[in-house]
Structure 1
Amino acid sequence: MKRNIVIAAVTAAALIGGGTATALATTGDDQGSARQAATTQPSNDDVRDDDGDRDDDAEKTVSADVTASEAIASALKHTSGTVVSAELDDEDDSDKVVWTVDVLSGDNTWHTVSVDPANGKVLGSHIDDEDDTAQVRAALKGSSVTAEQAAKAAAGKGVVTSVDLDDDGKNKSWEAETRKSGGAEQDWKIDLATGKITADRSDDAEND
């Protein structure tokens, strides 16, 4: 399992005309560890504000002790069913970050389960109304790769911040987003049958 811990505090120096801040974090898993560093050098107030927001988001992600696959497992212990998505995000636009896991139960009821990213405990759950139940069931029919397995596959590419079922179009798959130190994000597709992971270039094509 991949776990991410911030091991060095951010050091800041106030200088005339600007300042620097450097953060160092280590990411470890069962097979080794990789050292990651992120540095920002703001030159004006606007840049400092923008960089600060990105640094805050990256630090929240890196400091989450509970991985996507672990959050999914915790949600399923609380609410049985099929996980359709999991996302590490701010709760109700607040500063508190939680794992939000959507579970489709056997009676076609949708549950949203909130999981603490620090310890994996379920913080609460509620029932949602969704209109794509049949579409989701059809997309997952005959699939052998779960959301938890897709999250584990994507974990080798970086810190997984979300995994979601792409049930649109012909080529249905799991979609995962990963983030590396410094905030660099990448989208991935995981085959529903084989678990093969490939880079998602659809966003690049849309932006061309």
Structure 2
Amino acid sequence: MKRHLIIATAAAAALVAGGTVTAVAVSNDTGSANAASGRQLPAKTVAHEANTQASGTAQVQDGRSSIPMQDDDANGQEEIREANAAKVSAPDAAAAALKAVPGTVTGLDLDADRPGLVWDADVLGKDGKWHEVTLDAGNARVLNQHIDQDEDDDAQERAAAENAGTDAAAAARSAASHGTVTSVELDDDHRGKAVWEVETITKNGKEHKLLADPQSANVTAAPAHDTDDDDNDGADD
């Protein structure tokens, strides 16, 4: 705790002066190489490192994806375009999100937004809070991470996440044979029970919606009226 106060105080002083600060605090933590080394760090970096180590979250970088892409579905090819451009799979995105916020990944969504092509991950942290983590779809780098202050603390949703025997990554791996996974979400009340809802897209552009059991991650096709497949049969062509 004293170490965090020392770094934060030094960072604040440096920001006022507009210069750099030397991190001189010594810690027994293995992840404190920068602070223990005494090397010169930009004031912005030191301030962020203090916040990072205090919160236990990954360091946020410049917030821009390595895959520039606009959210544009004018020609109806948005999903296949995003799936083809992404270099990070859904399971790898989940793993990266858990490095930032230990807990349970309850949602993954591949999306092109202002930062470019990203994975948006929802995590129920071990701290009991809901977190949103934005990851670069090109290299899994954390672009943004924050606590979701607007998330309704639904006891049923929380219980479903805590009681699930699998996570979003397992559901994604089970569904991967049906195409590229573009979305995974834990539905806490699908016909009276919890289930993973997984969306995939094949190389020929067919989109499919699958359901994965929260305990075994076994995948089944979603009922026809629940799927967005072009042929409405819930099956791969």
TM-score bracket, normalised by the shorter chain, equals 0.5 to 0.7
Distance across 2 between alignment mates of 1:203 and 1:195: 19
Query: Within the alignment, does 1:83 sit opposite 2:105 as a pair?
Result: yes
Find the counterpart in structure 2 of residue 160 from structure 1: 181
TM-score by length of 1: 0.68
Distance across 2 between alignment mates of 1:60 and 1:162: 12
Find the counterpart in structure 2 of residue 194 from structure 1: 216
Distance across 2 between alignment mates of 1:106 and 1:79: 8
Find the counterpart in structure 2 of residue 67 from structure 1: 89
How far 1:170 moved relative to its partner?
Answer: 1.5
- Among 130, 152, 155, the alignment partner of 1:134 is 155
How far 1:190 moved relative to its partner?
Answer: 0.3
Q: Displaced runs of 4+ in structure 1, greater than 2 A? A: 52-57, 140-143
Secondary structure at the counterpart of residue 138 of structure 1: helix
Q: Would the aligned equivalents of 2:134 and 2:144 in 1 still touch at CA under 8 Å?
A: yes
Amino acid at match of 2:173: K
Distance across 2 between alignment mates of 1:55 and 1:194: 33
How far 1:204 moved relative to its partner?
Answer: 5.2
Aligned residues between the structures = 155
Find the counterpart in structure 2 of residue 116 from structure 1: 136
Greater fraction helix: 2
Q: Would the aligned equivalents of 2:120 and 2:135 in 1 still touch at CA under 8 Å?
A: yes
Q: Would the aligned equivalents of 1:150 and 1:174 in 2 still touch at CA under 8 Å?
A: yes
Find the counterpart in structure 2 of residue 176 from structure 1: 198
How far 1:97 moved relative to its partner?
Answer: 1.6
Q: Would the aligned equivalents of 1:166 and 1:174 in 2 still touch at CA under 8 Å?
A: yes
Cα 1:157–1:107 shift into 2, 3 Å: same
Identity of aligned residues (%): 42
How far 1:120 moved relative to its partner?
Answer: 1.1
Q: Would the aligned equivalents of 2:171 and 2:196 in 1 still touch at CA under 8 Å?
A: yes
Cα deviation per residue 1:87-145 (whole Å; 9 max; x = unaligned)? Answer: 00122xx4822100011112321111011111111111121121144112222344211
Q: Which has the larger radius of gyration?
A: 2
Find the counterpart in structure 1 of residue 226 from structure 2: 203
Q: Would the aligned equivalents of 1:108 and 1:133 in 2 still touch at CA under 8 Å?
A: no
TM-score by length of 2: 0.60
Distance across 1 between alignment mates of 2:159 and 2:78: 39
- Among 112, 122, 130, the alignment partner of 1:102 is 122
Amino acid at match of 1:176: V
RMSD of Structure 2 on Structure 1 (CA):
2.3
Unaligned runs of 5+ in 2: 1-71, 233-237
Find the counterpart in structure 2 of residue 9 from structure 1: none
